[in-house]
A and B are shown apart, each in its own frame.
Chain A
Amino acid sequence: MTAVDAPALPEARARRARHGRQGLGALGWTGVAMLAVVVLGAVFAPALARHDPDVTSGLPFASPGGSHPLGTDDLGRDLFAQLLFGARVSLFIGVAAAVIAVTVGVTVALIAGYYRGAVETVLMRTVDLMLAFPFIVLVVVFAAFFGRGLFTTIVVIGGVIWARPARVLRAQVIKVREFDHVLAAASMGASGARVISRHVLPRIAPLVAVQFVRAANVAVLIEASLAFLGLGDPGRESWGTTLYFAQARNAFLTDSWAWWVLPPGLGLTMAILGFAFLGYAIEEWADPRLERARVRRRATRRPSPKRPPNPARRQGGDMATAADRTEPLALEVRGLSVHYASADGPVRAVQDVSLSVARTQVVGLVGESGSGKTTLVMGLLGLLRPPGRLRSGTVHLNGRDLGFPRRSEIAAARGRDIALVPQSAMNALNPAYTVLAQVAEAAALTMDGRAATAKARDLLSSVGITADRHRAFPHELSGGMRQRAVIAMALVNDPVVLVADEPVTGLDVVTQARILRLLLEVRERYRIGMLLISHDLPLVARVADELVVMYAGRVVESGPTALITAEPAHPYTRLLLDAFPTLRGPRRALVAIGGEPPDLAHLSRGCSFEPRCPVAVAECPQRLPDLYDQGDGRRAACLLRELRERS
């Protein structure tokens, strides 16, 4: 097994899964095909047409047939020839105007985005102004005053539609400008022009391509509208001009509209649609914003080993040593597995995980990011989103068997018996509503509106949000306050178990301590069992009664906190303990865990921690260790321990 560049992989995989191997996708290729038809017709117009489009070559209003595949217009000119030569004019004007628009747009975007300041303000206000104007009206007025030549048309259209590319690209320039290597180049004294041409332009090139295609799409449409209004170049007929004559001479009152109006109209639609499809496909493929958002979301619930299921011996002294056995367990999860569908087949993100939480007990679930903690929680709450899928497992809540927690079955318990404080809870509030409204909304699930508001106020006050802040919007509160509001929201329907996913990550140390104290308080006051998830083992160890350590989607060690911290049974747990400084206790050297988390799509059949394990032996890569019961409430999945116990 090799440690591969893990973060890069999911991205590449997501990309491949979404676009197949073709790059552009079906929509993009359809666009290319449509444009190809139009371009070929335009290029080979002289060879394909059998008449001069501007010269009378038959009877007026002739029906299709003979040497006139589409018949003739009112002057007896060949409509098929007009269609082919019209494509030339329409396409040429469209593309030429797009070149102008994108050139101006890129220039404005680079100047505004790179140099910022007052120049930017002036330029972007102009852009706003241009965007607000009715393009077609503007072009019509310009064309009315400046004449109807081909060149004028191109300049006028290009001069009106540059604003959109400028606006979109400027945002990208600003983003690229802040990239480390660009900042580095600039700070080492490279000139603005050099930084722009070497670093900024290449990065925004795909988006320039998108904007070019979009501009061509708009330009073809505007030219057609202009020509349809009779403002095209009278010497060079485009499709729009043909339609103008058809309209002016009432072609649609006769049968001739079917071959006079439809072909150029469909040609226009095809060209515009071709550009639209192509632009959409390139954008989907190139847009870094969409891509990043997608990966960020998935990164927290990633992959895990491909191994045969391991029905570990999980019955028996199921880590409930400290719990009061007279009342049912608050939460019990058995054999839960989650798979992600991917282009390379299923990725096993959580494999056969079992754990339980008693009332008033705090169970800490720890492990590096990517070890499957959040996926486990989403799985047991029935909140997994595609491509994630629950494969197996049962959930008991307060002694009640909910069975296989598919979305619908767990839904009734969510927010009532089991509550979640999600990861980055500070962002888990809807920005459009006050915190009171959002807490009361949850309370209203089990009581009427007035009581719900009262309950919400009570709870908000009890988590430390003073009454005058209850009607604040989320953005008006600090991160710690928002965290408290989310905790209040989770508690509002008296759950028996609270799942808190990284509840203090991202908060400053003082706030961290306060939030932890608050969580412990509410646990006592409301007699709640708590599943506390964190990557920070020492922090969790301060408050948890029991610990569950996960690595690569599996539980590698579990048991009472005191026993585990005193003598970790799994080398990974030991390294986790050593990786963080402690405030109390003897000083010691900090050890970073070497190596990378495994690529969960391609694991060996052995222990997945083996490549990073300082004490691995020859057998480790060969055999998957079972969760081995040590008799004192602890279980660990390490061959060394197993071998030692046995010997």
Chain B
Amino acid sequence: MARHAARTVAQYALVLFAAITVNFLLPRLAPGDAVDYLLPPEQVGTISADQRAQLLGQFGLDKPATTQFVDYLAGIATGDLLVSVRYGRPVREVLAERVGWTALLVGGSVVLSTVIGAWLGFRSAWSRGTVRDTGTLSGVMVLDSIPPFFLGIVLLVVFSVNLDWFPAFGALPTVDASGLALVTEVLQRLTLPLVTLTASSVGPMYLVARSALVGELQEDYVLMAEAKGLRPSRVRHHAQRNALLPVSTVSLIGLGTLVGGATVVETVFSYPGLGRLIYESVLARDYPVLQGAFLLLIVGVILANLVNDLLYPLLDPRVRRAPRARS
């Protein structure tokens, strides 16, 4: 068990290293001069050769690639992630301001979509082939096919612009508030983005829960549970206990997709999270921040995968190895 955990951690450390390397190489492989990425677009053509050299020196880009890579790794290790072109502040500070909002949005969405998806999926599986099942299935597929930004815009127009139930953007109130008032304001601003993101991520959870339970219901132990006289609710419990395994896996592994959705949703609602930051950084060509945010998201996703791999054996007595290793 401990050996397995150690190996899993080592594997993910390797994955993390690969991701960091890609992150390092990306701007260097991209077409054009590094300076193009370090200056606001309108200034690129205007600087002299001296300024150019100075700029390269300032960012250590005149050193050999290997040295740059070592410096880069050292920077990550110490949390020193260059300086934002747009804000003129350390990237670390910029990220720190934003990461909490994304964690709130994505975390809330993971919980909600897992609970709702599993509940609907299990209900469908129990009544497989009936009108209720087909109806839910089609409904969820429709919901899943609406692009999150489109759903966001529609909700925004209806509930913010026309009905004025929720503020249209931001995460914090514009006037000072504290205590309960602050919490209410924050929740109000969180509601629409959270609903949008949850609605667009409930589909995969539902499908996994449904097919997992359909599979479990074919197992002989369900028949046995019925044959030994258990109440229907207990029989259900037996099957659902096992069907929850893939659901938990997908809920953690699907975090990557959710983070992607968050990027778009945060943009629609001007929600000040990492996704919105990425979008702004792309527009402002603030590549240090872009790299930093990307790195942070990758670390988050890899951690979620790691947690899944370590958690799975505890949930399922059958496996010593995580399911991803078997696939």
| Chain A interface (Cβ < 8 Å from any Cβ of B) | 27, 124-125, 128-129, 131-138, 140-142, 144-147, 167, 171, 217, 221, 224-225, 228-231, 240, 243, 246-247, 252-253, 257, 261-262, 265, 268-269, 272-273, 276-277, 280, 293, 297, 381, 383, 411, 414-416, 419-420, 422-425, 427-433, 441-442, 445, 473, 475, 486, 489-490, 492-493
Contacts and interface: CB of A to CB of B under 8 A. Distances in A.
Given A137-B278, A272-B145, A430-B242, A132 B228 contact: no
B227 A135 contact: no
A445 B150 contact: no
A54 to B, nearest CB: 22
A138 B238 CA distance: 40
A427 B156 contact: no
B147 A265 contact: yes
Interface string B11-26: 1000100110000001
Contacts of A492: 228
A257 B157 contact: yes
Interface string B206-235: 000000000100111101111111100010
25 contacts: A125-B11, A131-B256, A132-B301, A134-B260, A135-B256, A137-B260, A137-B297, A140-B263, A146-B30, A225-B264, A230-B283, A243-B149, A247-B153, A261-B153, A268-B147, A268-B150, A269-B142, A269-B147, A414-B229, A415-B229, A416-B229, A425-B220, A430-B242, A431-B242, A442-B229
A229 B229 CA distance: 58
Contact of A490 (B27, B228, B241, B287): B228
Of A147, A228, A297, the most chain B CB neighbours within 10 A belong to A228
A133 B234 contact: no
B138 A27 contact: yes
A429 B153 contact: no
B141 A415 contact: no
Given A224-B147, A276-B144, A383-B226, A252 B261 contact: no
A427 B153 contact: no
A265 B220 contact: no
Given A128-B324, A134-B263, A493 B229 contact: yes
A431 B317 CA distance: 7
Of B148, B227, B260, B263, the most chain A CB neighbours within 10 A belong to B227
A381 B142 CA distance: 41
A507 B30 CA distance: 63
Counting from the closest, the 3 A-B pairs by CB-CB distance are A415-B229, A136-B260, A273-B145
A124 B15 CA distance: 12
A240 B153 CA distance: 13
Given A146-B31, A268-B150, A441-B234, A428 B221 contact: yes
A231 B147 contact: no
B261 A428 contact: no
Contact of A293 (B147, B218, B241, B259): B218
A499 to B, nearest CB: 9
Given A247-B149, A262-B154, A427-B219, 7 more contacts: A225-B149, A247-B268, A383-B227, A419-B227, A432-B316, A445-B230, A489-B224
Contacts of A416: 229
Contacts of B261: 136
Nearest to B18: A129
Interface of B, helix, strand, loop or mixed by DSSP: helix
Contact of A252 (B161, B264, B316): B161
Contacts of A128: 15, 305, 324
B279 interface: yes
B111 interface: no
A273 B147 CA distance: 10
A225 B141 contact: no
B297 A415 contact: no
B114 interface: no
Of A221, A246, A280, the most chain B CB neighbours within 10 A belong to A221
B278 A129 contact: no
Contact of A134 (B148, B242, B287, B297): B297
B227 A147 contact: no
B51 interface: no
Contacts of A171: 327
A277 B224 CA distance: 36
B290 interface: yes
A132 B256 contact: yes
Nearest to A407: B226
A420 B229 CA distance: 10
A422 B260 contact: no
Of A135, A262, A411, A430, the most chain B CB neighbours within 10 A belong to A430
A492 B230 CA distance: 13
A432 B242 contact: yes
A137 B227 contact: no
Given A229-B282, A475-B318, A265 B242 contact: no
A125 B278 CA distance: 27
B218 A297 contact: yes
Contacts of A473: 317-318
Of A142, A272, A419, the most chain B CB neighbours within 10 A belong to A272
B264 A136 contact: yes
A469 to B, nearest CB: 14
A269 B145 contact: yes
Given A144-B290, A265-B153, A297-B218, A419 B144 contact: no
